[in-house]
Amino acid sequence: MTARRRGGHIAQVCALAVGCWLALASMAPAQEPYRLHAQDRLLIRVMTWDFRQNSMTGWEGLSGEYTISPEGNLHLPLAGVLSAKGLTQEELADAISDLLRGRAGLDEPPQLSIELAASLPVFVLGAVEARGAVPFHPGLTARQALALAGGIFRAPQSADIVRGIMLSGEATEAADRLQSLRAEEERIRAELEALSLGDVAPDPSGPDADVQTRLQAAERHARQVRLDSYQDLQTVLQQRSDRLAQQIALRDQQIANTRKELEDITSLNERGLTVNARVTALTTALSDLESRRLDLEIAQLLLDEQLNQAQRDSSTITTDAVAERLLRLTALESEISAAEIRERSARAQFTAMMDASGTRSSEAPSEADLQFLLTRDGTRTQVQPDTVLAPGDTLDIATPTVTEASE
């Protein structure tokens, strides 16, 4: 009897618990199933039951990730094109299963599993700490999106003072960098003008000259030393070339005299007035003079080549200096442009932070002060915090005091 009573008591308790659960379940609002949107990414698995192996077999050719097109269509192998936008995952699975059954000629429809892999984010703007995109999940409400964006925009804390100091330092550093680049550009343009005129700036005197000026003066001095060296070399080579020209002219005179004498002796020899030995001696002397004259001409050609090379090397010094400065000037244009952008950005950030610090409210607004403005399909409406969002929605959180300062 005791066991029966105890068993009956346990049964009554279980029945009461089940009744309470059913009552609570009936009181809780039923959440509407998620309906698919354009550009949702789905993970689809297609399975059939293999009676021979007594196990489930996957369709490798169909299983995988698919994305709903911007028009709301889903493209699947064998199944074709289906309109997926607005359907629940269960409705889409039934539609695909029926299509596959008919096209594959199956007795039973295949089993489908559809999971939502990813959706377009929700974009949160306005009086929030971190504006931008927040990840979407089914059932995401406006209040939850606000929390994902860092919550309500709050008044500056002591950390803003440190950030203000950092931004001020960045702005000053950017301005100094920009000034240095512009000064370098001005120096290079002055050097290019001096090089085009053949001027060489004198060495700076006194300890007041900066390091850059001293380096430029040292480079100019080294370049001038090289130019002077090549000029001296050209002078020496030109003098040697002139002496060789004089020797060649002397040899030409000797050759002309010897040739005239040889002609006269040959005429006398033909008339029997002189001996053959004299003709042979003059012929040998003429050949020797012509050979020496050829050696002198070759030596002069070599000297002329060396002189031309020295002249080319001398002109290359200035040409290389000009090309180097033009190349640096081109690079400076890009660096100055980037430095100007950095300087303006740093100044703007510092000014915006200072303006915001002066206009923000000392107390954060409550949720009751917020306005949740939802933009969907080009239509902007005010919604409640518990409104369920959709992928691609834009949620603007607005307050009378914070919105202006945060922007």
Per-residue pLDDT of 234-286, as tens digits, reads 888 888 888 888 988 988 998 888 888 888 778 777 777 666 777 788 888 88
Tokens of 236: 């020496």
Pairing assessment for the beta strands 122-126 and 394-398 based on DSSP bridges: parallel
Residue 396 has pLDDT above 60, yes or no: yes
Cα–Cα distance between 228 and 230 in angstroms, integer?
5
Residue 313, phi then psi, degrees to nearest 5:
-65, -40
How far apart CA 403 and CA 26 sit, in angstroms, is: 42
| pLDDT at residue 21 is higher than 70 | no
What tokens were used for 386? Answer: 């518990």
Tell me if the domain spanning 41-118 has CATH number 3.30.1950.10.
yes
pLDDT for res 379: 92
The three-state secondary structure class of 253 is helix
pLDDT at 363 > cutoff 60: no
The predicted structure's pLDDT at residue 47:
82
- Taking residue 207's Cβ as centre, other Cβ atoms within 10 Å add up to 5
pLDDT value at position 133? 93
DSSP 257-293: HHHHHHHHHHHHHHTTSS-HHHHHHHHHHHHHHHHHH
Domain locations along the chain:
41-118, 123-154+362-406, 169-359
- Alpha-carbon gap, residue 104 to 225, rounded angstroms: 90
The SS3 of residue 188 is helix
Confidence of residue 120 (pLDDT cuts 50, 70, 90): very high
Q: pLDDT band at 383, cuts 50/70/90?
A: very high
| Residues 260, 287: Cα–Cα separation, whole Å | 14
Contacts of 303 (CB under 8 A, 6+ apart): 237, 240, 241, 244
- The pLDDT tens digits of the residues spanning 201-245 come to 444 444 445 666 677 677 777 777 777 887 888 888 888 888 888
Residue-level pLDDT at 28 = 41
pLDDT for 60-80, tens place per residue? 778 889 999 999 999 988 778
CATH class of 169-359: mainly alpha
Domain 123-154+362-406 coded CATH 3.10.560.10: yes
Calpha distance 373→282 (Å, rounded): 119
Judged on CB neighbours under 10 Å (0-12, 13-18, 19+), 252 is middle
User: CA 388, CA 374: separation in Å to the nearest integer?
Assistant: 11
Residue 213 structure tokens: 């000026």
**101's tokens:** 């059954």
Q: With the CA atoms of 345, 346, 352 and 354 taken in that order, what torsion angle do they form, in degrees rounded to the nearest 10?
A: -170
